[in-house]
Chains A and B, each alone.
Chain A
Amino acid sequence: MSEMELQTGEFAPVVRCGMCAIVVCCALITGCGGVHAGGERSAVNPTDHSAAASTDNYQYEQWRWRNGDIVYVYNGHADHMGMIDAGVSASDNSPDVIDANTLGVVRRHNDFDKWADQGEWKNIEGYYVRAPVHAFDWEQMALDAGNSNADGCQSEKVSSYRQDSKLRCAEGSVANRQYSSANKFNTGAVYNAQSEIDTARSLFQRNSPDNTHSSQLIWRVYKYIYEVDLDSDGGWWTWPKDIREHRDVRAIPGAFSTLP
């Protein structure tokens, strides 16, 4: 133990330096692209294969996930899908990932990064499902415009979104209803959706390849909870591609990464 290899340096405690901290924090935030709270997201066409590259322009370092957001991961050999459970009861204070493995059983993962690492997924992409499930883009625009009360449809900014949300805007209290809609998503509902698959296995999984189990779970969950059919081509199986190419499934700007 006497032949230690490293040298020792010394440093002294410093006095509290709030200004320095603020400067450093600002520099870090600016340098890293900033951390934003859900606003300014715009849709990226999920069929556009340059989607990941196009998101480089966004100043997002990280995304704050919501219930039901979809995570798509892939490497050179296989791909996989999971869903986000962002309820505050998550075990480790950060959202959980719920997915089905190649045996078709549902799992809940506390650690997103470890989940991706264990699967050796090189590429990670985030998607959300538009109205009527997650019309949060509209809701956030209303909030940005300082119009977070019941109507929320009066500002010019929001008007541009009314093409998608016209009917719902006219009904009022949209944000509240959308919030309630998102709250339908929970682990219990996912489990029940998978149970329906299990009880009708011949219908859902007849001869289905292992790598469709995760996307079939997502398809079934959205049908079970929101009565939305995310299978874009209506084929026998629901592949990850089918979900990503659905017209209401949108890429989350900034929620793309590539591991070396």
Chain B
Amino acid sequence: MIAQKPISLASIFCLLVVACDIGGRATESEYQGAVSFVDCANTFVVSGSRKIYLFEHRPYGVEFKQLADFDDWAPLSAYLDCDANRIIAPYGARKGDRNNAGVAIIDLATGVKSEYPLVSKGIQGIPIKYRNGILLGTTLLQRGETAPSFGYMAPGERYTDKSGENYRIYTPTVFFDLNKLQFTREFDIDIGYAVLADGVLTAKQRGAITAIDLQNKTTEVLFESPAPNDSDNPVKLPMYHLNVFVDGNYYMVLNSRSYNKANFGLSGYQSNGIYQLVDGSVVKLANIPYEDSTYLLGIENKLYIFTSSFKAIEFDIRSKSMLEYDFSSAISEGEYQIESVGYTNSNFIIAMGNRQRDQSSKVLLVSRDFKQISAPYNLDLRLISITTNLAIDTADTRGVSLFKDR
């Protein structure tokens, strides 16, 4: 027995090594004790640079408490997988290995984090839950000579080289299987911002808006941007517009930053308006009285527009009626700006960053009827995303902006 003991330990060790090789790398152990929540519907994950926080709010109330926090490096839209009691955190880079990307999984029962790298392809964007896994965008450019598998080539992917040969450039979409814990598929399309409902992926896909039926592998083109020099049809979707899909319909809000002309004006659109894509055309639904719209949500036939001055506009898509709310009094001091807004059945979760980057960020909850608001809670975060059981990170309009005093 004495002689057998080291062999058994060695076998166990080997098994662990093999298991890690197959299933990923258990790179960090941050055991904090088991993390439990009462009702998944009331949980929310707030993540960003270097941190992932897990919170739960009181049922039908705005009071909330922190359940756990984990150190991480630039996670992308981390979310809670309630059934498996784990946090899924795609990542695009690691401090010591900037070419690396993959999916990290934090087991809430043990606190152990395992990483499943995708090597150098890079990962970006917001994950989309699909069957038993997630669809993820990548950064690595690839050239394709043929049409993509779903039979549609978005205008932003079409090119002609100097010899006159047509080709396309795209960044593939990959599928990570959460049961097998590995990347199992790669799709030759750049899905972009997309929402999956009833097997139909409604996507803003490099200059086009499409409805992709994943079951039947068909694609309906709802809108296609004109080519850059198409003078007959100059009306393009503006840069820096806020957009959201609601029941397969595309809605757009323009603010003071929106433009679609070379000299930074708007052609074919009016600023500060709400638009909807109808039968291939973009139709204006209403004017809004503010030019500082900064965030857009679509929930159950209503659009919610949040402004930099901490106002919220509730726009009823059916009746076209509009209500306004002001929660600026809750932001008592400092130069805060809304970075992300998530929602549960009863609350909005609003994350704010400070223009002075050495100042803490804040998160607060506002009830969906705008009658209650929580006190703000300080976070050690930047580039914040919020995910809940209802929606993984609704942020799509964060992008290229340079502030003098970050």
Contacts and interface: CB of A to CB of B under 8 A. Distances in A.
A38 B263 contact: yes
A174 to B, nearest CB: 13
A203 interface: no
A167 interface: no
A126 B327 CA distance: 36
A33 B141 contact: no
A101 interface: yes
Interface stretch (B5-13, B174-182, B365-373): B365-373
Interface stretch (A4-12, A154-162, A230-238): A4-12
A120 interface: yes
Contacts of A171: none
Given A1-B58, A118-B98, A188 B169 contact: yes
B221 to A, nearest CB: 14
B287 to A, nearest CB: 10
B400 interface: yes
B406 A91 contact: no
B21 interface: no
B217 interface: no
B152 interface: no
Contact of A259 (B169, B400, B406): B406
B186 interface: no
B51 interface: no
B63 A14 contact: no
Contacts of A189: 159
B48 to A, nearest CB: 8
A21 B290 contact: yes
A37 B264 contact: yes
A89 B230 CA distance: 14
B401 A187 contact: no
B140 A107 contact: yes
Q: Chain B contact residues (Cβ within 8 angstroms of A): what range?
A: 35 or more
A124 B291 CA distance: 28
Contacts of B309: 21, 24-25, 28
Contact of A88 (B64, B237, B371, B396): B237
Contacts of B169: 187-188, 191
A18 B401 contact: no
A11 B239 contact: no
B27 to A, nearest CB: 17
B401 A113 contact: yes
A108 B399 contact: no
Contacts of A169: none
B71 interface: no
Nearest to B385: A114
Contacts of A33: 404
A50 interface: no
A6 B377 contact: yes
A97 B402 CA distance: 13
A146 interface: no
Given A28-B308, A37-B259, A188-B169, A94 B99 contact: no
Contacts of A190: 141
B64 A6 contact: yes
B330 interface: yes
Contacts of A8: 61-63, 372-374
A1 B64 CA distance: 9
Nearest to A176: B262
Contacts of B120: 101, 103, 105
Interface string A79-109: 0000010111111111111100111011111
Contact of B239 (A16, A93, A102, A191): A93
Interface in A143-188: 143, 148, 179-180, 182-183, 186-188
A37 B402 contact: no
Nearest to B59: A1
B92 interface: yes
A14 B323 CA distance: 8
Given A10-B373, A89-B154, A255 B65 contact: no
Contacts of B373: 8-11
Contacts of B355: 32
Nearest to A21: B290
A24 B308 CA distance: 10
Given A15-B324, A62-B402, A188-B159, A92 B396 contact: yes
B161 A192 contact: yes
Contacts of A28: 292, 308-309
A13 B374 contact: no
Nearest to A258: B406
B359 to A, nearest CB: 9
A107 B141 contact: yes
Given A61-B403, A89-B155, A94-B240, A187 B372 contact: no
A106 B124 CA distance: 15
Interface in B212-258: 225, 228-229, 236-243, 256-257
- Report, nearest first, the 10 A-B pairs whose CB atoms are least far apart: A94-B399, A89-B156, A188-B159, A89-B207, A4-B63, A91-B192, A118-B93, A112-B400, A37-B264, A107-B139
Given A11-B327, A188-B161, A256-B404, 11 more contacts: A14-B326, A21-B292, A21-B307, A25-B290, A64-B257, A88-B225, A93-B237, A93-B239, A117-B49, A179-B262, A257-B406
14 contacts: A6-B63, A6-B374, A8-B372, A10-B373, A21-B311, A89-B155, A90-B239, A91-B193, A91-B206, A92-B397, A113-B383, A118-B93, A188-B167, A257-B402
